[in-house]
Amino acid sequence: MIPLFFSLENNNAKQRFFKGYLFGIVFFAGTLYWLFNISIPGNIGLVLLLSLAPAIFCYLYLYDKRYPLYAVVYVPSAWVLTEYLRAHLFTGFPWVLLGYSQSFNLPLIQFADITGAYGLSFLIILVNFGLYLALRKAPRRFYILFFISVLIAASLIYGERAIRRFNPARTLKISVIQGNIPQKIKWDPKYRDFIMDQYQRITKSAIAEERPDLVIWPETSLPGYIEEEGLRTAISGLARSEKIHLLIGALHGEGLNAFNSACLISDKGEVMERYDKIHLVPLGEFVPFEDRLSWIRSCVNKPMGDFIRGRNYTVFKFKTGAGSYSFSCLICYEDIFPELSRRFVERGARFLVNVTNDAWFGKTSAPYQHLQGSIFRAVENHVPVLRAANTGVSCIIDPNGKVTAIVKKGEDEICVDGYVTGVASMTFVKTFYTRFGDLFAWICIILVLLMYKSTRKIS
C-alpha cells in the first residue's frame, strides 16, 4: 500500500478517486482472474464494480503532515469502511479482504474473535501507513512506529495465549468426501450412475478404514433432486447399511420451486432435517430483477439457476453413541459472509460445515482464496469448520484456524478424489465476535463519519 500512499500526495479528490479506481482494477483483475472461466463480461463487470471500494477509500483519504496521529486512526478506519461496503452492497462480495492475506499467520489472526477479519485489514493498513510516514520523515513518526510495534506485539501475545488455552469440551470424528466430478458431466444423465458409484465407493472406504460418526458430501453431490426415488433409495440404503449419519448436498424441489440444499440423513436412512441456501449467488443461482435483466443470461457461457432463497437458519442436531451434537451448514460461498456464520453459532451450532463446488474454476487460486474465508469463520466464532468440496480444498479446520487435515494425492489438493478424516474439537464458549458481530467495523465507520469533515478542514 505504500506506493499508493505516495501516489496520492498533493492530489485533489477527483484525482485520488481515479487513482484508487485504477488501483482497484489492477488488484481485482489480478486476484479474480479465474472468473474468466465463467464469463468474460461478468468478470469485467465485477472488477469494475469492486474497484469502487478502493476508489472511495482514496477519495476519503486525507493526510496533513501537521497531524500524523489524527491520520493514523482515520486512514485505516476509512479502509475498513470501504471493505464493509463491498461486503454488503448489491448482495455483497467480501472476497480477498486485505486481512485474509494473514490466514496462515495463526498467532496474529486470533484477535479476529473480537474484531472479525476487518481488524486484520485495519492492522495491515496501519502498518503500511506507519511505514509510509517513516519514509516521509513525518513528525512523531517514531512514536507512531513504537505504537504500531506495541500493537503487533500485543496481538501476537493475545494470539499465542488464545491458541494455548484452547480446551475442547467435546470431539466428533468426521470424514469429508471429495468426488472430483468434472463440471461438464455433473448434470449429464449418462453419468448419473458413475457419479453415485464414485461417492458411494469413497464413502465406504472412509467408513471401513476410519469409522467416523458423520460423513459429509459436497454441494449438489447428488446428480438430481433428492426427491427422485432412485437417488433417495440409494442414499437411504447407504446410510442404513453402513449405520452412518450423512450430510448430503442436493437439489430440493417444492412444486415449481428449486432450492440448493443440504440434507442430514440419519443412520436409519431417514431425512432428519434440511437447510436451504440463504445467500444465493447473483447471476449464478438467480438473476436479480429478472423481469428487466433476463438478457444477461445470453452473456454468460455457463448455466444460471432459478433457485429460491432459503429462510431458516437451520441448526442440525443428531445423536451418536458419544452424545448429542449440533452444527450448521454453509453452502457454496456462504462461508465468506461472517454475519451468516455468526448467526448459526448464536443459534447453537457447535461446528460449521461448508459444502461447495469449486470445479468451475479449475486449477487456479480460487479454491485457496475460498479457504481463507472458512479459516476466519473458525477463528471469529472459535468453532471447527469442515469443508467438503466436489473439488477444491476439502479439509478440517480447528477453532484456532489451523488446517489439521486435508484431502490430498501426492502434492495435489485440487482436481483429485478422495476423503480425509479428522476430529472436530468443540468448545461451548461464545466469542466476543459471536455475541456482538461487526462492532469494530461499525466503530471504524462512525469514526470516519465524525472525522471526515474535520480532517478536510485541517488539510
Q: Identify the CA nearest to 104 among candidates 400, 348, 383.
A: 400
Tell me which range, 41-45, 65-69, 304-308, 446-450, is most confidently predicted by mean pLDDT.
446-450
Residues 6+ away with beta carbon under 8 Å from 97:
83, 87, 117, 118, 120, 121
DSSP 295: G
Residues 223 and 247 in one domain: yes
Catalytic residue among 19, 242, 263, 277: 277
CA distances from 128 to 42, 53, 131, 145, 334 (A): 32, 18, 5, 11, 30
CA distance 276 to 89: 22
Residues 393 and 253 in one domain: yes
Q: Are 300 and 265 in contact (CB under 8 A)?
A: no
Residues 189 and 268 in one domain: yes
Q: Three-class SS of residue 346? A: helix
pLDDT at 318: 94
Residue 218 lies in a domain: yes
- Give yes or no for residue 194 having a pLDDT over 70: yes
Based on the structure, what is the number of domains in the chain? 2
Residue 14 lies in a domain: yes
Give the least confident one: 70-74, 143-147, 255-259, 283-287: 283-287
pLDDT at 301: 47
Q: List the grid coordinates of 449.
A: 463519519
pLDDT at 291: 53
Q: How many CB atoms lie within 10 A of CB 328?
A: 24
329 is catalytic: no
pLDDT at 356: 97
In tens, the pLDDT along 14-45 reads 999 999 999 999 999 999 999 887 778 888 99
- Give yes or no for residue 441 having a pLDDT over 90: yes
Residues 135 and 64 in one domain: yes
Residue 175 lies in a domain: yes
Cβ contacts of 317-326, under 8 Å, gap ≥ 24: 317/273, 318/214, 318/245, 318/264, 318/266, 318/272, 320/172, 320/213, 320/214, 320/245, 322/170, 322/172, 322/213, 323/170, 325/170, 325/172, 325/213, 325/214, 325/350, 325/351, 325/426, 326/350
Residue 282 lies in a domain: yes
Q: Are 366 and 389 in contact (CB under 8 A)?
A: no
Residues 117 and 199 in one domain: no
Residue 432 lies in a domain: no
Residue 431 lies in a domain: no
Residues 158 and 180 in one domain: no
Residues 6+ away with beta carbon under 8 Å from 12:
none
- Report, as an integer, the average pLDDT of 324-342: 96
- Report, as an integer, the average pLDDT of 441-448: 97
Residues 23 and 78 in one domain: yes
CA distance 4 to 124: 14
- The residue range of the domain holding 413 is 170-426
Residue with cell 433457485: 307
Residues 206 and 122 in one domain: no
- Give yes or no for residue 95 having a pLDDT over 80: yes
Residues 180 and 147 in one domain: no
Catalytic residue among 329, 332, 395, 444: 332
Q: List the grid coordinates of 4.
A: 499508493
pLDDT at 147: 95
- Give yes or no for residue 459 having a pLDDT over 70: no
Q: Three-class SS of residue 324? A: strand
Catalytic residue among 19, 58, 83, 219: 219
415 is catalytic: no
Residues 157 and 174 in one domain: no
Q: Three-class SS of residue 355? A: strand
In tens, the pLDDT along 262-315 reads 999 999 999 999 999 999 998 778 776 555 555 454 455 455 568 999 999 999
Residue 139 lies in a domain: yes
CA distances from 27 to 13, 35, 48, 53, 433 (A): 21, 14, 11, 11, 29
Q: Identify the CA nearest to 210 among candidates 405, 373, 22.
A: 405
Q: List the grid coordinates of 116.
A: 472479525
Q: Whole-prediction pTM value?
A: 0.93
pLDDT at 286: 72
Beta partners for 251? 225, 260
pLDDT band at 89 (very low <50, low <70, confident <90, very high): very high
In tens, the pLDDT along 156-187 reads 999 999 999 878 778 999 999 999 999 899 99
Q: What is the CATH number of the domain that holds 353?
A: 3.60.110.10
Q: Identify the CA nearest to 326 among candidates 214, 243, 401.
A: 214
Residues 47 and 77 in one domain: yes
pLDDT at 252: 94
Q: Are 343 and 313 in contact (CB under 8 A)?
A: yes
Residues 36 and 178 in one domain: no
Question: Which bin fits 171, alpha (ψ -120 to 50), beta or left (φ > 0)?
Answer: beta
Give the least confident one: 121-130, 357-366, 416-425, 429-438: 357-366
122 phi and psi, to 5 degrees?
-55, -45
332 is catalytic: yes
Q: Helices 52-60 and 40-50 sit at what angle, rounded to 10 degrees? A: 20
Q: Three-class SS of residue 265? A: strand
Residue 46 lies in a domain: yes
pLDDT at 360: 86
